[in-house]
Amino acid sequence: MSKQDAYIALMCSLPGSERLFVAKQPPLSRIRLDRRLTALTPEDSKVLKILEHTLSWSAYDMDVSDAQAIQRCKQAMEDIPQPTLRKLFMERMELRSVVAALRLRKRGEPAPSGPFGVGRWSRHIPANWGDPSFRLERLMPWIKEATQLLENEDPLGLERLLLSISHKQLKRHAARHMFDFEAVAIYVLIWNIFDRWAQSSAAEAAKRFEKLAQQAMADFADVDFEGASA
């Protein structure tokens, strides 16, 4: 069986997902999903593991330094050859960067002295620290709601919002991929969103977002992410 035929068969074997936040659990267990993923080539399996690990909330322990987080993201970009997957990776990291900035500002931290976070807005965010939406409200209209959830001390609501945004981003990319490796990778990342929501609690959400603020990634001036996300 050719790789193309194998991936068509794989995608056809994966069950459709219910609406996010309505389903109490993912449409199939991780064990069953991993069994199906054995159809991937070794190269594609490696890329998928890199994506899942780098985008996982739990992959960043409290003792991970900014330098380590930076290197992890830089290495991931070098190891992901597919343009669509590189783009969705950058979208997720930009989302995290904005949320980290919101949390730090809420704490009363001053504007970073240099680039902040990952992606197109690493210099824009510090330059617009005093604006409620960092002057990104047209591109990221969700920032206003995220700010309100932070003010209301509602970490579970914030997690729900961010998972919903990530889900929409992935579904947008999924519309352009049906039976290739990108389609498989997007399905797995959506599965992870369902799984995260199924495990969510207010206490755990608060811990995760505190981690995010503490691990806010700065000093990306030597990493050319803009070209990768174009």
pLDDT digit string (tens) for 64-119? 555 566 677 778 888 999 999 999 999 998 898 898 899 889 989 999 888 888 88
Predicted local confidence at residue 228, as pLDDT: 41
Backbone φ and ψ of 40, nearest 5°: -70, 150
Q: Alpha-carbon distance 177 to 182, whole Å?
A: 6
Checking 104-110 for CB contacts under 8 A at 24+ apart, the result is 104/213, 104/216, 105/129, 106/150, 106/151, 107/213
Q: Kindly report the average pLDDT of the chain as a whole number.
A: 82
pLDDT value at residue 75: 83
**pLDDT at res. 67:** 58
Compute the residue count for the chain.
230
Give 87-146 as a DSSP string.
Answer: HHHHHHHHHHHHHHHHHHHHTTPPPPSS-BSSSTTTTHHHHTTTSTTTT-TTT-TTHHHH
How high is the pLDDT of residue 59? 52
What would the two tokens of residue 18 be?
A: 């219910």
The 8-class DSSP code of residue 25 comes to: S
Structure tokens at 202: 């207010």
The pLDDT tens digits of the residues spanning 176-206 come to 999 999 999 999 999 998 888 887 765 565 5
Would you say 96 and 117 are in contact if contact means Cβ atoms under 8 Å apart?
yes
